[in-house]
Amino acid sequence: MIKLVVGLGNPGQKYQQTRHNVGFLFLDAMFGELAGDWIQDARFDGLVSSCQINGAKIHLLKPTTFMNRSGYSVGKLARYYKLSIDEVLVVHDELDFDVGVARLKKEGGHAGHNGLRDIISHLGASDFYRLRIGIGRPQTGKSVADYVLSCPANKEVELLRQVFSFCEGPVRQMLMGHYEKAMSELNALNLVN
């Protein structure tokens, strides 16, 4: 069962609503009413909270190390609670999917995502679960860094809200150990067409 849900993003007001902070935004949307307060915990270099789902405690983490060093925070918390790699779900932005698309998978590479690259490095493995939430790509010739660190248009924000809402059911299924059902439901999601 999943015992740690990590949302990836960058700390600070400047980045709060940017595309790169989709992981933080998802945690707020899904666990906002279930979780306790978010506490800055120096042991894990992140904002931490927790909730109970079907009697099981779920740890929630927003690394405050900035995206490129997310693994430092994730690794510290996973080791502290003695979590195995398959008890970790990482929620992150995905350039290769349009806004309105989300996919759930287990293992794989980092595909150029520096947050994932650092997590793989610090966990020493890549076979954790990932919830990949589409943010689309910038126009040809435009900077990827500028794109991911900018705020989405209003239409995209609404699509992201719909994605977050749709993802809640499958993610709950995952947290209860129903991985195949969760993947089947979530991997059918495409709000673009």
Active-site amino acid positions: 20
Cβ count near 111 (within 10 Å): 11
Burial of 190 (0-12, 13-18, 19+ CB in 10 A): middle
**Helical (H) or strand (E) element with 92:** strand 88-94
Strand residues in the chain grouped as ranges (E)? 4-7, 39-41, 46-53, 56-63, 88-94, 102-106, 129-134
Characterize the bridge pairing of strands 4-7 and 88-94: parallel
